[in-house]
């Protein structure tokens, strides 16, 4: 497995990480714990060193799952988790509201450390920007955790350019986690150039469009009520039918190269910048292996130009999130 360094941070990770949310959260019934532990350990055996979770996934259960699975190989892996939401006392998931007050951060980090069965979190992201707390205070709180040896690196997720710059001035930001893929390219306008300027790595989540870019679903694919994609405008049947053009583009390039649509989508992302490390999620071993093979897929300059130019001509239908969720982002 190739390695990449996230910006100027010195934090080295596998070129492809593993997003673990779907093992416990958002995509229907949580998966079997034993099977997911086996999958996580299989990922390590195949060279994955970068694992992504958050306290709100479950909530709590995803961190606990990673803690058990990765404890025997803790010195071989980089674990990223996130803070920034209130979670109700009974632990029920839902719209808990953001909370990045420094005293909250100092409290919740202890729970994440305990669930992850570790003494230090490698990369600690603010999950969503809290408009009630100056970002300088958030960066200062994480800086204090770094000084205390509980955190190694500071990250942000879905933050806007001004917020990133202000946070970075207080505590260097190692990585920004944003949605980025061939059907969500907005970060290219302002965020990617800023990250290059400041020496910050980019960790794209949903690099396969929450499964859509794999070609495994179409407008007729049913989505269960407990699958959060059923609430997303981009996943209505009408939107999926219109957006099939992106999958068709990936499939046509893949046919020429002997690759799957997912592999082309990931290889395109990896080719954008050497400090980009996508974190596709999966709960299936064969999908994990398919994704990891993308690291070895060589896209020529002509391939990249063809993909980008063709994608420029496709109008993506449907917002990526409902309005109340999109308002929580800084993009």
Predicted pLDDT of residue 301 = 95
What mean pLDDT is reported for the chain? 94
pLDDT digits (tens, 9 = 90+) for 117-166: 999 999 999 999 999 999 999 999 999 999 999 999 999 999 999 999 99
Average pLDDT over residues 226-234: 92
Domain count across the chain = 1
**Mean pLDDT lowest for which of 16-20, 91-95, 206-210, 282-286?**
91-95
Average pLDDT over residues 222-241: 93
pTM over 0.85: yes
What residues are annotated to the active site?
57
Does the pLDDT of residue 95 top 70, yes or no? no
Coil, strand or helix: which one is 154? strand
Q: Is residue 198 part of a domain?
A: yes
pLDDT digits (tens, 9 = 90+) for 179-201: 999 999 999 999 999 999 999 99
Predicted pLDDT of residue 329 = 75
pLDDT band at 94 (very low <50, low <70, confident <90, very high): very low
Question: Domain containing 62: what range?
Answer: 3-211+272-297
pLDDT band at 90 (very low <50, low <70, confident <90, very high): low
Copy the structure tokens of residue 139: 């960066």
Q: Is residue 27 part of a domain?
A: yes
Copy the structure tokens of residue 69: 């699975």
Check if the beta carbon of residue 43 is closer than 8 Å to that of residue 71: no
Q: Is residue 124 part of a domain?
A: yes
Predicted pLDDT of residue 319 = 92
CA distances 143 to 79, 150, 167, Å, are 18, 10, 11
Q: Is residue 144 part of a domain?
A: yes
**Mean pLDDT lowest for which of 49-63, 94-108, 213-227, 278-292?**
94-108
Predicted pLDDT of residue 91 = 57
Q: Is residue 263 part of a domain?
A: no
Q: Which residues, in sequence order, are CB contacts of 216 under 8 Å at separation 6+?
A: none
pLDDT digits (tens, 9 = 90+) for 51-71: 999 999 999 999 999 999 999
Q: Is residue 260 part of a domain?
A: no
Q: Rounded distance, CA 270 to CA 267, Å?
A: 5
Predicted pLDDT of residue 27 = 82
Predicted pLDDT of residue 96 = 66
Domain of residue 24, CATH code: 3.20.20.100
Q: Rounded distance, CA 258 to CA 248, Å?
A: 15
C-alpha closest to that of 20 among 90, 116, 163, 154: 116
Coil, strand or helix: which one is 202? strand
- CA-based diameter of the chain, in Å? 54
Residue with tokens 């350990």: 41
Q: β-strand 3-5 against 12-14: which pairing, if any?
A: antiparallel
Does the pLDDT of residue 88 top 50, yes or no? yes
Copy the structure tokens of residue 231: 């609430």
Q: Is residue 166 part of a domain?
A: yes
Q: Is residue 309 part of a domain?
A: no
Predicted pLDDT of residue 93 = 47
| Residue 143 CB burial class (10 angstroms; 0-12, 13-18, ≥19) | middle
Predicted pLDDT of residue 322 = 85
Predicted pLDDT of residue 331 = 59
């Amino acid at each position: 497995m190739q390695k990449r360094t996230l910006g100027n941070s010195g934090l080295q990770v596998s070129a492809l990480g593993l997003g673990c949310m779907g093992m416990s959260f958002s995509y229907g019934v949580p998966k079997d714990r034993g099977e997911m532990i086996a999958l996580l350990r299989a990922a390590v055996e195949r060279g994955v060193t970068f694992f992504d979770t958050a306290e709100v996934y479950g909530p709590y259960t995803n961190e606990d799952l990673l803690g058990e699975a990765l404890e025997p190989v803790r010195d071989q892996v980089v674990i990223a988790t996130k803070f920034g939401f209130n979670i109700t006392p009974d632990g029920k998931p839902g719209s808990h509201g953001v909370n990045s007050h420094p005293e909250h951060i100092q409290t919740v980090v202890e729970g994440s450390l305990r669930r992850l069965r570790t003494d230090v979190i490698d990369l600690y992201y603010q999950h969503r920007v809290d408009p009630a707390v100056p970002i300088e205070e958030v960066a200062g709180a994480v800086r204090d955790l770094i000084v205390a040896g509980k955190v190694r690196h500071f990250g942000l997720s879905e933050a806007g350019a001004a917020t990133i710059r202000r946070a970075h001035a207080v505590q260097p930001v190692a990585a920004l986690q944003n949605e980025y893929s061939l059907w969500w390219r907005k970060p290219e306008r302002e965020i990617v150039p800023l990250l290059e300027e400041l020496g910050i790595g980019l960790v794209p989540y949903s690099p396969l469009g929450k499964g859509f870019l794999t070609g495994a679903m179409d407008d007729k694919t049913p989505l269960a009520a407990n699958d959060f994609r059923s609430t997303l405008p981009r996943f209505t049947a009408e939107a999926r039918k219109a957006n099939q053009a992106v999958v068709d583009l990936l499939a046509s390039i893949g046919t020429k190269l002997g690759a799957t649509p997912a592999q082309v989508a990931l290889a395109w992302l990896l080719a954008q910048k050497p400090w980009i490390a996508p974190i596709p999620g999966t709960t299936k071993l064969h999908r994990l292996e398919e994704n990891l093979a993308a690291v070895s897929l060589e896209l020529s300059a002509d391939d990249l130009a063809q993909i980008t130019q063709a994608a420029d001509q496709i109008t993506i239908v449907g917002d990526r999130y409902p309005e109340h969720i999109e308002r929580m982002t800084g993009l």
